[in-house]
Structure 1
Amino acid sequence: MAATPHELGLSASPAARRERMRSIIGGSAGNVIEWYDFLAYSIFSIYFSKAFFPGGNQTAQLLNAAAVAAIGYVVRPLGSWVIGALADRRGRRVALSVSVAMMSVGSLIIALTPTYASIGVAAPAVLICARLLQGFSMGGEAGTSATYLSEMAPTGRRGFFVGFVQVTVVMGQLVALALMLVLQRLVLSPGQLEQWGWRIPFAIGGALAVFALYLRRGIAETDAFERSDAKSAGTHARQAQRGSLLALLVLHRRQTLWTIGISIGGTVAFYTFTIYLQKFMVNTAGFSRDTATLITTVALVIYMCCQPLFGLLSDVVGRRPVLMIFGVGGTFLTVPLMHALGTTHSALTAFALNLAALGILSGFSSIHWLVKSELFPARVRALGVGLPFAIVSSVMGGTTEYLALRFKHAGHESWFFYYVSACAAVSLVTYLLMPETRHRSVIDEEARQ
């Protein structure tokens, strides 16, 4: 049956629709900037590692910088817990403003911190503190921004709009890479980049985060949160449940387990297909670094543009059929796809295989934030969406590349392919057991009450 104008969000006044779009754009722009800031650390660490970790060889310096980068991932669950709880208690807008403000401070600290030569061991100590701020901020940003967009988007096109969440993730990465190319090839020499040029991306990121804070201060609060706030005002039990970890784990344990199951396969596949494939094509297939970088970058741009289209598909056919694209494809096609990519010597074939992998991944990445948002009531939604995913991302996402390299080093590289397939199978079982949230969305049920 065709969607009605009300379901599409078209029955609102032009002013209301403009405010909705302004809020969606403000939330999305802030997410792009946050991801840019968070990923710029890893992208530019090759230039600033010597400034904070002198002595030894370059590999040791990069390992030290990578260890600090990992701290950002380890602290993400804590940020998701604290900022997610804040979003459920004080509002999505407040939490989003806090998140982007913390990211701004973290980036500006990195940009302004003196080198080891100037202040000694205080330099890496300050760097660690800055990375902790960034990781804490990103942990809260991911779940809260997804919750905000899910609640702001019109009912009949919620999948399309929330598909832009993944667009912002990839766009943040691409913006950081583009800035690196501009600085390398058009603006600075390698020596200048090592001496002081590495500070530029962090200064830009800090300034952009301040601009994102300005945008977010003007966005509207969601109707879903305001209804939840009004209902909880006179009820002590409901008030106590808002943003409560205990309430999430006890009263909504089934949804929490579903969220974990949804995330396991997609998280491992995301780190495999968007990050590790570049190294895999160099180390296993034998492509040059430049060719592998070009293949993966172009494929990522196409993948980014497809996310809202997969989301739109879920608005038409349902969330589960789109999730099944990943569940079935990830379970049964990962092994042959990786074997084919590892043995090809054709750049065009490698590009096609990259696109195929990212197409499978899109069944998860385009709508997983929305599906999780549609599972939880507003009083614990930001916490429920963000915390389980942050834990899975830290435990399984952060170890994906390490496991791939360990299997290769041990001479059993194909075991990693089966590991990715097994994780996708866990998610496939979850998709089969969980409800179809397009028709049973808690967001819509609460709006009708």
Structure 2
Amino acid sequence: MEQQLTLSRSQLVRSRIKGIVGGSVGNLVEWYDWYAYSVFALYFGAAFFPKDNETAQLLNTAGIFAIGFLMRPIGGWVMGTYADRKGRKAALTLSVLMMSGGSLMIMLVPGYKQIGIAAPIILVLARMLQGLSIGGEYGTAATYLSEIAPKKHRGFYSSFQYVTSCLGQLIALTILLVLQRFLLSKEQLADWGWRVPFGIGAVLAVSAIYLRRNLSETESFKHEKVAESRKGSVSELLKYKKEVLLIIGFTIGTTVAFYTFTTYIQKFLVNTAGFSKNESTSITMIALFVFMIAHPIAGVISDKVGRRRMMIIYGAVSMLTTYPILTALGNTHEFWTAVLLITIALVILSLCTSISAIIKAELFPANVRSLGVSFPYALAVAIFGGTAESIALSFKQAGHANYFFWYITACSVVSLIVSFNLPDMDKHSKMDEDLK
């Protein structure tokens, strides 16, 4: 009996590790593809837009980046509904297929010189497809990781969603760095080298699809007994209006900070601080590596001190530090000073991002959990995260770059206020009701 119990525990641990790896590896590939657009935008803007104005090129590529975000609420709605009705596993596999399809389109599309206006149109369509994919990926992956986690370690399990998100961006940046320093000239990167990462992303998707097709479905989904019409329906989700508003509220501050310090920051280092493109890539990589490592640590801490308390601490510290950090960063020309400032900002951010997925998942019952996590989050990200880069560049072009620092601070205040109104999910969580 003792040997059987040990075996069953061993099988359970292996099953959970497999679930984390399967859910996380797919998430890694999806976020790699998503970020590849941003980190290589410095090079491929000229292939689709006029060459005489670098800021105009960045504004155009940032605008298409935002269009991808605008598709995310639709993706959150469609894929969230699909995950609640057909299963987390099926939705996770489909989302990877869609993301890799968008990457293939970007890799293969000819430039403006070859096909004229059709080039940016195809680029827009590819980003729309990727936006649909990533809109559903976040909520479904968050739901899956949360549902396979033991109650006492939900913060730790949840943190791996952002670990793989960071790792996806680090891989994209590593490829850029290798191409920049060892393989291609600036001219080659701008001419055709920027297509390489999108091809790599499409190939990586094959392994992710294999892993996800072999995942086990969660017990929460398998034991869901409500009628099919109540699974993943908007009418059912609207019974939880307060929870939807809470998600939108605390996402406002976190998504603006996240996309500022992980995506826009590379352009900020070049355009505002005056670093070279190579230096900005190296600075971002080092800071992101520390950010990635910080997530499991923050997740473990949240399991000890409580997730609501962690969110409040994050909101308060972010509100007080964002403006000074960005001001100092804009005025420094020292490599390691820039690394330190961005790292501090990202470690502060990890207090929130490490647990944001589990906070959302615990607010909803299993029959609308994926939709509840996906749709309101994607809506807030589309409005605030997707436009962060465009707003920052617009303020800079107008000669008031520091206005954007105040904008991020104001968004942090909103998240802080909402965090005070979050329920204490360490005492009562909808996830605890799943298997009763």
TM-score by length of 1: 0.88
Secondary structure of 1:221 counterpart: coil
State how far apart, in whole Å, the 2-side matches of 1:180 and 1:408 are.
Answer: 25
Within the candidate set 142, 145, 170, 1:146 is matched to 142
Within the candidate set 69, 76, 82, 1:80 is matched to 76
State how far apart, in whole Å, the 2-side matches of 1:110 and 1:283 are.
Answer: 25
Which residue identity is paired with 1:395? I
- Counterparts of 1:45-444 in structure 2, within 5 Å, are 45-53=41-49, 57=52, 59=54, 63-116=59-112, 118-228=114-224, 231-232=225-226, 238-249=227-238, 251-281=239-269, 285=273, 290-344=278-332, 346-410=334-398, 412-444=400-432
Establish whether residue 35 from structure 1 lines up as the match of residue 20 from structure 2: no
Which residue identity is paired with 1:44? F
- 8 Å CA contact 1:272–1:400 kept in 2: the answer is yes
State how far apart, in whole Å, the 1-side matches of 2:40 and 2:108 are.
Answer: 15
CA change 1:346–1:256 in 2 (3 A) is same
CA change 1:38–1:296 in 2 (3 A) is closer
Secondary structure of 1:252 counterpart: helix
Bigger shift: residues 302-311 or 416-425:
416-425
Shift of 1:68: 3.0
Which residue identity is paired with 2:12? A
Shift of 1:162: 1.2
State how far apart, in whole Å, the 2-side matches of 1:340 and 1:89 are.
Answer: 49
Shift of 1:135: 1.2
Q: Deviations over 1:85-139 (max 9, x none)?
A: 1001110001111111111222122223344555554444333322221111111
- 8 Å CA contact 1:50–1:58 kept in 2: the answer is no
- 8 Å CA contact 1:325–1:360 kept in 2: the answer is no
State how far apart, in whole Å, the 2-side matches of 1:190 and 1:346 are.
Answer: 24
CA change 1:110–1:345 in 2 (3 A) is closer
Secondary structure of 1:435 counterpart: coil
Shift of 1:415: 3.8
Which residue identity is paired with 2:256? V
Shift of 1:268: 1.6
Partner of 1:16: 12
Bigger shift: residues 86-95 or 19-28:
19-28
Partner of 2:3: none
CA change 1:33–1:343 in 2 (3 A) is same
Q: Deviations over 1:284-310 (max 9, x none)?
A: 555555544433321211111110110
CA change 1:131–1:284 in 2 (3 A) is closer
Secondary structure of 2:423 counterpart: coil
CA change 1:409–1:112 in 2 (3 A) is closer
Shift of 1:146: 0.9
Shift of 1:35: 0.7
Structure 1 runs not aligned, ≥5 long: 1-9, 233-237
State how far apart, in whole Å, the 1-side matches of 2:282 and 2:386 are.
Answer: 24
Q: State the superposition RMSD in angstroms.
A: 2.5
CA change 1:343–1:45 in 2 (3 A) is closer
CA change 1:298–1:421 in 2 (3 A) is same
CA change 1:143–1:11 in 2 (3 A) is farther
State how far apart, in whole Å, the 2-side matches of 1:192 and 1:280 are.
Answer: 24
State how far apart, in whole Å, the 1-side matches of 2:331 and 2:112 are.
Answer: 45
Structure 2 runs not aligned, ≥5 long: 1-5
* Number of corresponding residues: 430
- 8 Å CA contact 2:174–2:285 kept in 1: the answer is no
State how far apart, in whole Å, the 2-side matches of 1:286 and 1:45 are.
Answer: 17
Which residue identity is paired with 2:107? A
Bigger shift: residues 200-209 or 416-425:
416-425
Bigger shift: residues 434-443 or 341-350:
341-350
CA change 1:267–1:154 in 2 (3 A) is same
State how far apart, in whole Å, the 2-side matches of 1:280 and 1:373 are.
Answer: 34
Shift of 1:424: 1.3
Partner of 1:3: none
- 8 Å CA contact 1:79–1:137 kept in 2: the answer is yes
What is the aligned-residue identity percentage?
50
Which residue identity is paired with 2:90? V
CA change 1:189–1:401 in 2 (3 A) is closer
Shift of 1:74: 1.4
Shift of 1:324: 2.0
Which residue identity is paired with 2:309? P
Which residue identity is paired with 2:234? L
State how far apart, in whole Å, the 2-side matches of 1:209 and 1:58 are.
Answer: 35
- 8 Å CA contact 1:324–1:363 kept in 2: the answer is no
